[in-house]
Amino acid sequence: MSGSPISDVRRLEYRNVTMRFAPTRGRDVLTAVRGVSFSVRDGEVVSLIGPSGCGKSTLLSIGSGLTAPSEGEACVDGARLEGPNAEVALMLQKDLLLPWRTVAENVMLGVEIQGMPLPERKQRAQELLSNFNLAEFSNHYPHQLSGGMRQRVALARTLAVDPHVLLLDEPFSAVDAQTRIVLQRELAQTLQRAGKTALLITHDLAEAVTLSDRVLVMSRRPGTIIDEITIDMPQRDNPIARRHDPKVNDYVARLMDRLDIAHASLDQVPAGDAA
């Protein structure tokens, strides 16, 4: 599988990011994440794991430019994010396909908003749908597709805008286990082939290991990075093959140990940082 190797270029950076939310009735100010610093290099896939509510999705929202941090900054290609950035695409847990648009029209949505001419966006949509084995469904509507097919359409729509950085918030959590493995393979191959940079949120530790170059572990809220684990395994573009590697169980066990620490009080969590 071809694809650009990981370089030392920092595509996405979080620099001492803290996020506080205004108090609501009967509640004080909520600090979601505190002092988070890490980077994702060009061509690298990094997974982010941690307890529910520790601020993982908040970090993706900040990295997409949709949310401004209370302190610190997020940068893409060295430039501080001041709002949504054309080089960054965010894919959420739900496919959010528009029911009144066909599959092809849904894939074309982002580039249509960007102003790409109709012939070009049709061609791009068909190429992506072919890559995901969905070309024959281009004129179908979302309600006519299975859950796994809808997620593939959503991924194709995300890739259609040709972003440098993909932010993926548990993109396969809503599908069954068998479909999830297929989608993991398709995602891994696409990222490798296109040389994309990705930050992935997942609660599936085996998924984190098989899809990633590194895994970052967050503490409970207010979330901070407590560990960084490099995945020293070949074939990142083939997560199915990776699952048969004996190292997977060792990495999963190590991540489980770190999550036990993450659930402990912050006073018991050792300081850690991730470059």
Q: Domain residues for 184?
A: 1-87+165-275
Instruction: Tell me how far CA of residue 39 lies from CA of 8, 20, 47, 158, 226, in angstroms.
Output: 10, 21, 12, 21, 15
Digit-by-digit pLDDT tens for the chain (275 residues) are 344 567 778 899 999 999 999 877 767 788 999 999 999 999 999 999 999 889 999 999 999 999 999 999 999 999 999 999 989 999 988 889 999 999 999 999 988 988 889 999 999 999 999 888 899 999 999 999 988 899 889 989 998 998 999 999 998 887 888 888 888 888 898 888 888 999 999 999 999 999 999 999 999 999 999 999 999 998 888 888 898 899 999 999 999 998 887 776 444 444 333 43
Q: What is the CATH number of the domain that holds 245?
A: 3.40.50.300
Sign for the CA dihedral angle at 102, 108, 113, 119 comes to: negative
Q: How far apart are CA 240 and CA 236, in angstroms?
A: 9
Please tell me whether residues 52 and 181 are part of one structural domain.
yes
Q: Which of 104, 132, 162 is the last residue of a domain?
A: 162
Please tell me whether residues 73 and 206 are part of one structural domain.
yes
Please give the DSSP secondary-structure letter assigned to residue 132: T
* Entry pTM: 0.87
